[in-house]
Each structure stands twice: as structure tokens, then as C-alpha cells.
Amino acid sequence: MLNEALKQKVSELLPTTAFDEGGEWLNINIEATDWPAFAQHLRNDGSLFFDYLFCLTCVDWKTHLTMVYHLSSTKHRHNMVIKIKLDRDKPEIETASGIWRTAEFHEREVFEMFGVNFINHPDLRLLILPDGWEGKNPLRKDFEDPVNMIKL
């Protein structure tokens, strides 16, 4: 499906969606509360059929966090980028791991690197950081580690 058709389809599904122009793929901004139902639609709708979540990450914009989901369909070969703005102090979002299993690992990574709390995640524990890690989340912009210097 081409970007235009996708855009139309998405705005039918979720009228509140805001579209970002530019970029090769369709960028859409949605609210965190719409996410679980919308994700189900994206996965199960026959003409959309986004079954491949190939990238899941988070960006720290200093004022807020943005979850970025890159979705692709192995049937129709179209791609879409979904962005969800989160509160920086108390970031919370429903997990996608029930829909795309790969999200389980990626969400664990985002959880420890950005501190995003994924509701209903089956196993939200530290994956990469050492056990008993306390303090800030390493990939946030205000993270400084005087012992293990990252910046040169």
C-alpha cells in the first residue's frame, strides 16, 4: 500500500492521528491511550497487516520522551512509523509484546535505558544493565557517568 492510501486508512481508524510529513515512510503521531487498540488493528487488519515490528526505540527530547515504533508488513511490504509522546517524569505505555513478541526484549531495553514503564509487560526486568542498577537511565540526555566516561 502506498503512503497516501495508508494515510487514508489510518485516519479512518483513528481520526485524531497527526501526520508528520517528510521522510520516506509514513510518520504518524498518536496518543499513548490509543495505542493498545490501534496496535491490535494494525496487526490484524487484513489490508494493513503490520506483522513485523523491526525497530522499537525511544528518544529523549529533554522535554518529553517519544516512543518510536517502526512497523513493516511482510505481506504487503509497506512500512509505517508510529510515534507516541510520553511524559518525561512518569513515562508509561501499554506493552506491545502481546502483539509482536519481539517487543518483549526491545521494551526491556527501553525500560532500562530510558526508564519507560511498560504496563502489562510479562517480564519487565533489567536486561543489559547490571543487577541492582540504581540511578539514572543511561540513554537519557542528562545522564553523566564520571566513572565510565562515555563522552570524550
Partner 1 sequence: MYRETEILTRANQSTAHESEDSGDLVINVGPQHPATHGVLHLVITLNGETIKNVEPHLGYIHRSIEKMCESLTYRQFIYVTSRMDYLSAHINNQACALCVEKGLQVEVPQRAQVIRVLMAELTRIASHELWWGAMAMDLGAFTPFFHAFRERETINDIMEETCGARLTMNYMVPGGVMMDIHPHFQQRVKDFIQLYRKKIHEYDELVTGNIIFQNRMKGVGILSAEDAISYGCSGPVARGSGASCDTRKYYPYDAYNKVQFDEVLETGGDSFARYLVRVREMQQSINIIEQLIDNIPEGDFQAKTKAVLKLPKGEFYQRAETARGELGVYIISEGGTTPYRIKFRSPGFSNLSVLGHIARGCKIGDLIAMMGTLDLVIPDIDR
Binding interface with partner 1 (CB under 8 A):
22-25, 27, 51-55, 57, 59-60, 68, 70, 74, 77, 81, 100-102, 104-106, 109, 122-123, 125-131, 138-139, 143, 150-152
Nearer to partner 1, 94 or 104 (CB): 104
Nearer to partner 1, 33 or 45 (CB): 45
Q: How far is the CB of 125 from partner 1 (least distance, A)?
A: 6
Q: Cβ–Cβ contacts within 10 Å for residue 9, how many?
A: 15
Nearer to partner 1, 10 or 110 (CB): 110
Q: How far is the CB of 88 from partner 1 (least distance, A)?
A: 15
Nearer to partner 1, 2 or 152 (CB): 152
Q: How far is the CB of 134 from partner 1 (least distance, A)?
A: 15
Residue type, 67: M
Q: How far is the CB of 135 from partner 1 (least distance, A)?
A: 14
**SS3 letters for the chain?**
CCHHHHHHHHHHHCCCCEEECCCCCEEEEECHHHHHHHHHHHHHCCCCCCCEEEEEEEEECCCEEEEEEEEECCCCCCEEEEEEEEECCCCEEECCCCCCCHHHHHHHHHHHHHCCEEECCCCCCCCCCCCCCCCCCCCCCCCCCCCCCCCC
**134 alpha carbon, distance to own chain's centre:** 24
Nearer to partner 1, 18 or 126 (CB): 126
Q: How far is the CB of 45 from partner 1 (least distance, A)?
A: 16
